[in-house]
Amino acid sequence: MAQLLLDKIDVYDPELKMAQQTLISTAMLPVKQRLEFWHDSVCKHFASLEIGVHNEDLSKGLRSTLVHSEFGKLDLIQLDACRQTVQRDHRKIIADAHRQDYTLFSLQLRGIGKVEQDGRQAIVRPGEAVLFDTSRPYSFQLDEDFEKIVIRIPSETLKTLFSRPDRLCAVSINSSAPGANLLFTYIGSLISEYKTLPQNCTSAFSNALIEMIGGMLQELPESKSANDSSIKKTHLYELKRTIATELANPKLGAELLSLQLGLSISSIYRIFSHEPIPLIQYIWNSRLERCFEDLINKCYLDLSITEIAFRWGFNSSAHFSRAFKERYGITPTAHRKNNFPL
């Protein structure tokens, strides 16, 4: 497609706009102007970046093209360029504070690339894809001439379908992934048929593409483990919130939590298994903390120590006193007297 458009470019026009498409090519410019022009063009259509090009490719003329197609909420960007490295650091992110954040879905057609983001590194070969996010630093190294298609997606749009796409950045996605082959084929068809698509249909096709990308990402093994982790964190939050709500109930324990949350008792213990202390100890410690606070609260001076202990789920004053001294190294009586001396 890039070549078809190139045939129509005037020799003095390095940037050609046609309907909803823009074609950018360095071929129309004097060699000395090409690097700056390419850098500015890539930054305009992606994000502010540092671009490194090998001296040998500069001497050969830095022949590179970019085709940008507007596609509903998305941007379809085709690149056919010489080897280069792009890098986005914190300085560039700050410079782009006024711009929207995007998630980039990059499908490699020719050449091999290496992406780094969030401490992960992925090698991307022809027929494979990778995700990266403009809101955080990343680098993309291409050591040979390459072609690729990049789908630029507003990050907030993708998050409506997949809450944590950041967990999948710099993870190589090949065609064997569930739904990937169908997605890659659909992207290729959109590119080849773009000029024939009725403009009033682009929104529907764009939404279908977003749905397909979101659906495919959800099926990746890395996504499932990320989702599992997210679910566990949600369950742990709900578990601790319920404990805080039921702390005064003497019957509070795994069985009551199981009934309250609709989870099995074994699930309750499993959710809490990675915490630094066991579930029952967390409950007693939480009760002791409330008692510790109430004993030095002027609002509760008319309550006895036993009443305060029972108020927070203890049913034995002796047990409370032992547990309190073991945790704080002082008796409840001494703790109160230290703050309210006679």
List the domain range (segments joined by +) for residue 256: 229-275
Judge whether 67 and 21 are in contact, CB under 8 Å. Answer: yes
For residues 26, 28, 30 and 33, what is the CA-based torsion angle, rounded to 10 degrees?
-40
Whether residues 33 and 127 share a domain: the answer is: yes
pLDDT of residue 121: 93
124: closest CA among 169, 89, 154, 155? Answer: 169
Distance CA 72, CA 68 (A): 13
Residues 261 and 326 in one domain: no
Question: Looking at residue 20, what is its pLDDT?
Answer: 76
Apex 245 CA angle, 240 and 249, nearest 5: 110
Do residue 190 and residue 112 come from a single domain? Answer: yes
Give the whole-angstrom CA distance, residue 125 versus residue 147: 11
Q: Report whether 136 contacts 174 (CB < 8 A).
A: no
Q: Is the torsion defined by CA of 163, 164, 170, 171 positive or negative?
A: negative
Residue 8 CA, distance from chain mean position:
40
Q: Tell me the C-alpha distance between 8 and 1, whole Å.
A: 12
244 and 294 inside one domain: no
Is 23:66 a contact under the CB 8 Å cutoff?
yes
pTM for this one?
0.63
Q: Where are the alpha helices (DSSP H) in the chain?
A: 2-6, 31-45, 55-59, 90-95, 155-159, 180-193, 202-218, 221-245, 254-261, 265-271, 279-295, 305-311, 317-328, 332-339
Question: Are both 35 and 163 inside the same structural domain?
Answer: yes
Q: For residue 12, what pLDDT is reported?
A: 37
Residues 58 and 151 in one domain: yes
How high is the mean pLDDT in each 10-residue block of the chain (342 residues)? 38 53 91 94 94 90 93 94 95 90 96 93 96 94 96 88 81 89 94 85 88 87 61 79 91 93 88 88 94 90 94 94 94 89 64
Q: What is the dihedral of CA 164, 169, 171, 173, to 10 degrees?
A: 80
Does one domain contain both 42 and 186?
yes
Domain count, the chain: 3
CB 9 within 8 A of CB 16: yes
Question: What pLDDT was estimated at residue 162?
Answer: 73
